[in-house]
Structures are given as structure tokens and as C-alpha cells.
Amino acid sequence: MTGEAMSFFDKLKALFGSGSPNGDAGMISCEDALRLVHEFLDGELEDTSATEVKQHFDMCQRCYPHLHLETVFREAVRRASAGESAPPELKAKVSVLLAEAMSEE
């Protein structure tokens, strides 16, 4: 990792190294986890197991927010495509915020 702060998960990996001949010991890097987030959520992982990716997101405080954001975004898209609308309270709040923003211009 160049110039970035290491996650807790990456620090563990650096400290303990890998215990397997292929160098993974069931642990994937933050870079790999973030690269695989969409395949993980779609259930379409090919070379990496879903368990490995899930374990990384469960342990890594730096990567988990990315997984959470993607999950929430996908749920919002699903609701929108299903024809569900925003609750009236949210619509009212957005209208107020838009009116305030327009009056500031």
C-alpha cells in the first residue's frame, strides 16, 4: 500500500504473514475486497470465495463503509425500480431544503 494508511486487516496480514504456500491464508487485501465488492453482492465471485470477501468486510473498518454504501444504493435502486416512492416526510423535508437553497441564490 503506497502512501495510504493500512487498515487493521492489512496490519494483521503484515504482522502475521500468510500461512499458506500460495500466500493468502484466507485473507484478502483491501484492494482486492474493494475490487470484488460488486461481484460479491451479485453472488458472482469466480476466483475468490464469498467467505473470504465477507470476512474481510466484517473485519475491516476502512472497507466496510464501501460495502454498506453499495448495499444501500442497490436497495434504493431496487425500491425506485419497483415504483416505491419516498415517504411524505422525506418529500416535505427535501422541498423545504430546495426552497431554502433557491432563496439563497
The pLDDT value given to residue 9? 66
Q: What pTM does this model have?
A: 0.55
Judge whether 53 and 23 are in contact, CB under 8 Å. no
Distance separating alpha carbons of residues 21 and 95, to the nearest angstrom: 59
Judge whether 50 and 40 are in contact, CB under 8 Å. yes
pLDDT at 21 over 50: no
Backbone angles phi, psi at 86, to 5 degrees: -70, 150
pLDDT in tens, 37-80: 999 999 999 888 999 999 999 999 999 999 999 999 999 888 88
Looking at per-residue pLDDT, the higher value among 42 and 11 belongs to 42
Backbone angles phi, psi at 87, to 5 degrees: -65, 150
Judge whether 56 and 63 are in contact, CB under 8 Å. yes
What is the amino acid identity at position 61? Q
Q: What is the Rg, in whole angstroms, of the alpha carbon atoms belonging to the chain?
A: 20
